[in-house]
Structure formats: C-alpha cells, structure tokens
Amino acid sequence: METKEIRDVVMIGAGPSALAAAIYTTREDIDTVLYEKAIVGGLAAVTDKVDNYPGFPDGIEGMTLADQLQKQAERFGAHIEYGDVTAIRDEGDYRVVTVDGNEVKAKTVLIATGSDYNKLGIPGEAEYYGRGVHYCATCDGAFYREKRLAVVGGGNSGVQEAIFLTRFTSHIDLLVRSTLKASEVLQHELQKFVDEGKITIHLQTTPTEILVNEQGKVNAVAMTENGEAIRLEVDGVFVFVGLKPNTQFLAGSGVELDERGLVKTDMHLATNIKGVYASGDVRSGATMQVASAVGEGATAALNIREFITEEARKTQQ
C-alpha cells in the first residue's frame, strides 16, 4: 500500500458524511480514496429504518441508503478500501495517514469516522458479545424469534430498536436508567406496544450483570429497579446507551479535540492542522443526524476543493 504518490484527498471512514463528500470531490476529478475499517455506511447501515431523511416520505432502510450512497460515490470514481487508520501526521506540503501499518500521502484529509456504541461496562457484557449481547437490532434480531429480550436504553435509538425487535420476539423488557428521553413521536408509538403487552418498561433501572446458564448461554440480567435487586429472565440483551466518537487514532496527531473527544473545527470544517478537515458525527457541534452529516460532507468537500486549488496556485507563483 505504501506509495510515493500523493493523493488529493484521503477520507477516513465511509459513512454517509464521507460518501457524500466523495460524491462532490470525485465529480470534480479530485482523486479520492476512502478507508473504512468496519462497514461502509457506518451506523446508518445497521439502522433498521432512517425515518427522517429528506426525500423518503415512508422512510428508508439504513442499509439501502448506505448502499445507494456507496454506488453513487463509486460511479463518479471514488475508491473505497477496507483499512484501519491508526495515525495522521502533518508533513507541511502534505499529510501522512497510516493505514494498516503503511503510509499514504495526501494533500488533504477528511476525518469522518463517526461514532461507536457506548458499552455498559458490566460483567458478562464483553464476554458474551455476539453470543447473547448485541448492539445491532437489524444484524442480530432475527436470531431471537419467539424469545424474550432485554433492551437497555431510553433514548431514541433504544426505543426505536425495541420497537423493531418486536417483530421477532415474544416479549421485550425495556430497561431505562432514569426516565424515557426518546422523542414524543417515538414514545407515543412505544405506548402502543406497551398496551398490547409486547413491551414492558422498567424505569429507574440499572443492569449490574449479564448472567448465563450452565451451557454458557445468556439467560438473565441482574439489575436494580428502584433500588431493589432483581433477576430478569431473558434470552438476550441489546444495548443502546449512546455513542462515543471514533477518535482514538488521533492521539498524538495534534488534531484538537473537545472535552468529549470530538474533533474541533472552524466554520469551514477545518481542524487546527493544515489540510485536515472533519465532518459528521465525529465533529464537535454535530447534530448526530444522517441528513446533517451528509450536508457537512458536501460542505467539507467544497472547502477541500478550495484548499487544493489555492495550494496549487501558490506553488505556481
């Protein structure tokens, strides 16, 4: 992978923001490569339904939206490759991105790595990940047909995914640390499933351990509800308790982060490092919405074009 060629722009991540940016850069013949270490489309791709993306009155499946964005970017010439970026450094005239241990040089870099799921940090969670503990309803929900599940989280994602999982399960226990914080629209929809007996809401509830039977299969959640210790019999646990930015790879890069670990940018979406930009959920001040992430990607692409044009003009003088 290591090359002496200097790419016009390296985009780190291939979620909606980077894919939108790539559509804009490649249409103007700006050499563009995206590196993704997980799934093209990011968290949007593993969301059951994106219901508030403009232009889709009936909503659109997350995977479908991600697939269409990818095809559009590739049609204009974007190169999407799988690779884990572990470092960025500034070399003055260009930036160096370390991908799978190899160095790639670029005139500009767009950080669009998005966010990842927060974890509960309780015994049994990491040990049984993928074997009874999950963070993606669309990926793993079908394994629990006619089973009983616990869903942890009272925000929009927790409620939305709990509702989605009712199409498979016999019953869902929704575990909420304090009170429901989902939108009124989602809470109204949730109430329908509560009234039908498909979902039971447990407020003021904190899971303390994920338990397994003698065969090593998840069979219960230990928790406190209103201060009382309870054992809840379930066949699996789905966790939706917020997101954390994917910025660990920026340690030592000099890229400035805020107190939450999000990338700081100016009004042009430029970071404090020359030629390095950020957009989407990884950016400080982002609204954590697919539509705004796509818009930021387009904005970043236009600013990247101006940067490349201006640097080329300086070189010619």
Give tens-digit pLDDT for 73-124: 999 999 999 999 999 999 988 999 999 999 999 999 999 999 888 999 999 9
Is the separation of the CB atoms in 111 and 94 below 8 Å? no
- The confidence band for 4, taking pLDDT boundaries of 50, 70 and 90, is low
138 and 286 in a single domain? The answer is no
Judge whether residue 2 has pLDDT over 80: no
Residues 257-281 pLDDT 10s: 999 999 999 999 999 999 999 999 9
Residue 20 phi, psi dihedral angles, 5° rounding: -65, -45
What is the DSSP-derived secondary structure letter of residue 114?
Answer: -
Q: Which helix H or strand E contains 283, and what residues bound it?
A: none
**Residue 270 falls inside a structural domain:** yes
Nearest Cα neighbor of 216 from 297, 156, 132 is: 132
- Separation between Cα atoms, residue 258 and residue 94, nearest integer Å: 25
Mark 206-244 as b/e (b = at least 16 C-beta within 10 Å): bbeebbeeeeeebbbbbbeeeeeeeebebbbbbbbbeee
Q: Which helix H or strand E contains 294, and what residues bound it?
A: helix 290-316
Question: Whole-model pTM?
Answer: 0.76
Tokens coding 118: 């927060």
Is the separation of the CB atoms in 313 and 303 below 8 Å? no
213 and 263 in a single domain? The answer is no
**Residue 127 falls inside a structural domain:** no
Range of the domain at 55: 6-117+243-316
**Residue 1 falls inside a structural domain:** no
**Residue 123 falls inside a structural domain:** no
**Residue 101 falls inside a structural domain:** yes
291 and 191 in a single domain? The answer is no
**Residue 125 falls inside a structural domain:** no
Domain boundary among 211, 239, 267: 239
Angle at 75 between CA 70 and CA 77, to 5 degrees: 100
- Separation between Cα atoms, residue 109 and residue 114, nearest integer Å: 15
**Residue 124 falls inside a structural domain:** no
233 and 253 in a single domain? The answer is no
Domain boundary among 199, 215, 239: 239
Q: Specify the CATH number for the domain of residue 148.
A: 3.50.50.60
97 and 150 in a single domain? The answer is no
275 and 212 in a single domain? The answer is no
76 and 138 in a single domain? The answer is no
Residues 17-53 pLDDT 10s: 999 999 999 999 999 999 999 899 998 887 777 888 9
Please give the tally of structural domains in the chain.
2
44 and 73 in a single domain? The answer is yes
What is the DSSP-derived secondary structure letter of residue 262?
Answer: P
- The confidence band for 1, taking pLDDT boundaries of 50, 70 and 90, is very low
Angle at 237 between CA 235 and CA 240, to 5 degrees: 160
Residues 173-202 pLDDT 10s: 999 999 999 999 999 999 999 999 999 999
- Separation between Cα atoms, residue 11 and residue 33, nearest integer Å: 6
**Residue 166 falls inside a structural domain:** yes
Domain boundary among 216, 239, 262: 239
262 and 188 in a single domain? The answer is no
11 and 113 in a single domain? The answer is yes
- Number of other residues whose CB lies within 10 A of the CB of residue 2: 10
28 and 69 in a single domain? The answer is yes
109 and 258 in a single domain? The answer is yes
